[in-house]
Structure 1
Amino acid sequence: MPDHTSLFARQAEASAHVQFVFEATAGQLVFVNEAYRLVLHGKPDQVNTELPALLARLHPDDRPRLAEYWTQWCRGLARDEVEFRLRHPEAPDQWFCLTPYYERDGAGAVWLAGSLRDISVTKRYQANADLFNSRKNATLEILSHDLSGAFIMVQQIAEFLREEVQAPANPEVAKMLQELETTSRDSVKMIRDFINIEFLTSANTDLKRDRVDVGAVLREPLDQLQSNSVGHHFAYTLPAAPLYANLDVNKFTQVLLNLVSNALKFTPDDGHVSVAVEPGPGSVRIYVRDDGVGIPLNLQPVLFEPFTKARRMGLRGEPSTGLGLVLCKTIVEWHHGTLEVASFEGQGSTFTIVIPQSDEVRCVPAAGKTVTSYE
């Protein structure tokens, strides 16, 4: 029968991930495998000497959370994996995922073992995918708003001419105006159906949350909205310091774009729409404000219900399915947040999203044990 201790030692040594054992009582690393040399460019036999310089490279935004994680780990309470960054002066940040292990031996010594995986490629891929999706979603909303407005104007002109021209010299004129009106109406419906299908498809995919700087991931779509805003004054403000939350970036961006799209629908030309991202007590607060027509008081209690009687045509005739705000609220709640509205007729509306910041570490019971979770 093989020696299991030797087998696991050989497996750890051969791993492409950094494997280590730290004696917390003595404050020393007693084992690190060869991957330490390849992944972190250090010398395994000098790892304790190199450790302070390595820790100094921790990203400053990750340090408070990792300090709390370390406290929980040393008490045997850390079970979840944790992601963090190491800084490089002339290269992109290096991302790692740590899988922890804790053991206290019969003599009372505390041993912390772990596996450290370099996930930089995955993180860069995800960031690029999120950026692409954010740009795509913002572009679709802009095109939807602008194209719908153009088709609705053509439809309204055709309706007006058809009513004004009672007896045209050419009988084909009435048919052509009717065809123009019908085609414009169908085009508006097709555009909105396409956007709604895109939103529904995204909402029905699995939730994948990552710890991200909210301002950084929302800047791109907000920039696009500001650069391409036609007929309205659009502005946004982001926090000066990084503000982290656990987001499914694609889904959350679509929520924001949907709320902005609604604000544009119910705000007259030359009106104002704005987005503000601000820190709150342990939370991230996002405000979507407009100075449009507002929401009648009797409709506000049922605003977030499916196929609600609160459905209204936009000021330019834009249709509503009654599902957009329901999905927005659902997605926000998937992020352990809330979505609320304050509105007054003739004065405008403010939709407020509140989601937890990701830097808090909470100990919660699970299967009879205390574990660490991040929200």
Structure 2
Amino acid sequence: MFDFATFFLEQVEASPKVQFVYNLTTNHVAFVNPAYEQVLGGHAAEVNAELAGLLARLHPDDLAYLAEYWRAWGSGQPTDEVDIRLQTPGQPDQWFTLHPNYQKAASGNVWLSGTLHDVTVTKEYQQNADLFNSRKNATLDMLSHDLSGAFILVEQISQYLHEEIKPAPSGKMLEMLDVLASTSQDSVKMIRDLINLEFLTSANSALKRDRVNLNEVLREPLEQFENGQRLTRHHFTYTLPARPVYVNLDVNKFAQVLINLVNNALKFTPDEGTISVRVEPGPGTVRIQVQDNGIGIPLDLQPRVFDRFTPARREGLRGEHTTGLGLATCKAVVELHHGTLTVESTEGQGSTFTVELPLSTVSKRPDERKMAVR
């Protein structure tokens, strides 16, 4: 007869992940597998003596967060997995994902078992990918404004030549001027459609939130806009808090929301106008404001500005095409993050779009959701 107990014990012993059983009643580790020694550099027989030193290596920013999870586990509250960092002097932080399981025995003892998985390589890969995407999307947005302006200028020159050349040009010349104008129009539309399609496609995929430092997420695209002021022909500034601000985000989607809001400000702010982004933490929430001194939104259109295919949609000051979905998509993504997106605007003076997000808290269940963009 197959011995299942022996089989599973062998699997646990051979696992590259740290597996443990902790007695919450007596506050001691009852079991840890050999991976503890390879992954964490300890000695399995001395795990209880080494536990205080291991906890001392926790990243300071993760202490309150992990304590909140620990309270939930101790009361049997179901939670999602949690990511934590361990510090080692002179070395990069190690990332671990902790999967807990709660069990109350008939004897009255309360047990917490779990798996600790080193995900440092995966985290570094994801952070680099998010960084690349943010940089790429911000750069594409700036280039789209620069190229749109150039193509619109070509279109205007072709129209001027069409009207001003005397005597009337030959049919061939008229045809060439018409081709030049239509090509310029199509190029502007193609540039904007490409960026809009990427944003809408990304927004419609599954949402996967991680606990991240909002400052690190936003700094890269904001620096790209600051460095690209020459391309957009605007004055751009931003301010971030001095201390880390932790929120639960789908990094790629939220970075695109920020880029889309800045892009919207660029579209409706004349050359040499000012656009600023401010991030301000408060009690339980953090506020991100994108402010411009552009043409503003007429009062009667403001209640509909976040509608899909909104009647408030307008071409940009440089002829930028709009689908009427951008702000609606931004609002939907923000709300999937349990946040809010609002606008205040005065026609002729500018607009301020404000995102408010809750600060990071215990996740009660896996957060894999999709947003429908119809």
Shorter chain as denominator, the TM-score bin is over 0.9
Corresponding residue of 1:10: 10
Q: Distance in 2 between matches of 1:372 and 1:71?
A: 16
Corresponding residue of 1:365: none
Equivalences for 1:270-281 in 2 at 5 Å? 270-281=272-283
Corresponding residue of 1:143: 143
Corresponding residue of 2:201: 201
How far off its partner does 1:72 sit? Answer: 1.8
Corresponding residue of 1:290: 292
Corresponding residue of 1:361: 362
1:42 partner amino acid = G
How far off its partner does 1:298 sit? Answer: 0.7
Corresponding residue of 2:123: 123
Corresponding residue of 1:367: none
1:248 partner amino acid = D
How far off its partner does 1:160 sit? Answer: 2.4
Pairing 1:55–2:59 present: no
1:54 partner amino acid = L
Corresponding residue of 1:262: 264
- Among 298, 302, 305, which residue is 1:303 paired with? 305
Pairing 1:134–2:126 present: no
1:361 partner amino acid = V
How far off its partner does 1:179 sit? Answer: 2.4
Is the deviation greater in 64-73 or in 99-108?
Answer: 99-108
Q: Is the 8 A contact 1:290 1:349 kept in 2?
A: yes
SS at match of 1:84: strand
Is the deviation greater in 268-277 or in 78-87?
Answer: 78-87
Q: Distance in 2 between matches of 1:243 and 1:304?
A: 27
**Alignment gaps of 5+ in structure 2:** 368-374
Task: Go from structure 1 to structure 2 and tell me whether the alpha carbon gap of 1:114 and 1:333 turns closer, same or farther (over 3 Å shift).
Answer: same
Corresponding residue of 1:223: 223
TM-score w.r.t. length of structure 1: 0.92
How far off its partner does 1:212 sit? Answer: 0.9
How far off its partner does 1:172 sit? Answer: 4.4
How far off its partner does 1:126 sit? Answer: 0.8
2:160 partner amino acid = F
1:38 partner amino acid = Q
Corresponding residue of 2:243: 241
Q: Distance in 2 between matches of 1:26 and 1:317?
A: 70
Q: CA RMSD in A?
A: 1.8
Q: Is the 8 A contact 1:77 1:372 kept in 2?
A: no
1:254 partner amino acid = Q
How far off its partner does 1:79 sit? Answer: 3.5
SS at match of 2:41: coil
SS at match of 1:361: coil
Corresponding residue of 1:349: 351
Corresponding residue of 2:32: 32
Q: Is the 8 A contact 1:294 1:349 kept in 2?
A: yes
Q: Is the 8 A contact 1:98 1:115 kept in 2?
A: yes
Corresponding residue of 2:96: 96
How far off its partner does 1:22 sit? Answer: 1.4
Task: Go from structure 1 to structure 2 and tell me whether the alpha carbon gap of 1:270 and 1:112 turns closer, same or farther (over 3 Å shift).
Answer: same
Corresponding residue of 1:366: none
How far off its partner does 1:236 sit? Answer: 0.7
Q: Deviations over 1:226-267 (max 9, x none)?
A: 101231000111111111111111111111111111101110
1:91 partner amino acid = Q
Q: Distance in 1 between matches of 2:139 and 2:281?
A: 28
Corresponding residue of 2:370: none
Is the deviation greater in 103-112 or in 337-346?
Answer: 103-112
Q: Distance in 2 between matches of 1:106 and 1:181?
A: 81
How far off its partner does 1:43 sit? Answer: 0.7
Q: How many residues align?
A: 365
Q: Is the 8 A contact 2:79 2:362 kept in 1?
A: no
SS at match of 1:160: helix
Corresponding residue of 2:371: none
How far off its partner does 1:207 sit? Answer: 1.4
Corresponding residue of 1:81: 81
How far off its partner does 1:301 sit? Answer: 1.0
1:153 partner amino acid = L
Q: Is the 8 A contact 2:72 2:79 kept in 1?
A: no
Q: Distance in 2 between matches of 1:326 and 1:175?
A: 40
Q: Distance in 2 between matches of 1:169 and 1:179?
A: 15
Q: Is the 8 A contact 1:69 1:78 kept in 2?
A: no
Q: Is the 8 A contact 1:341 1:352 kept in 2?
A: yes
Q: Distance in 2 between matches of 1:11 and 1:166?
A: 88
Corresponding residue of 1:317: 319
How far off its partner does 1:372 sit? Answer: 7.4
Q: Distance in 1 between matches of 2:63 and 2:305?
A: 42
Q: Distance in 2 between matches of 1:195 and 1:109?
A: 57
- Among 336, 339, 347, which residue is 2:338 paired with? 336
How far off its partner does 1:134 sit? Answer: 0.9
Is the deviation greater in 322-331 or in 32-41?
Answer: 322-331
How far off its partner does 1:341 sit? Answer: 0.6
Q: Distance in 1 between matches of 2:163 and 2:188?
A: 21
SS at match of 1:111: strand
SS at match of 2:207: coil
- Percent identity over the alignment is 61
How far off its partner does 1:6 sit? Answer: 4.0
Task: Go from structure 1 to structure 2 and tell me whether the alpha carbon gap of 1:372 and 1:330 turns closer, same or farther (over 3 Å shift).
Answer: closer
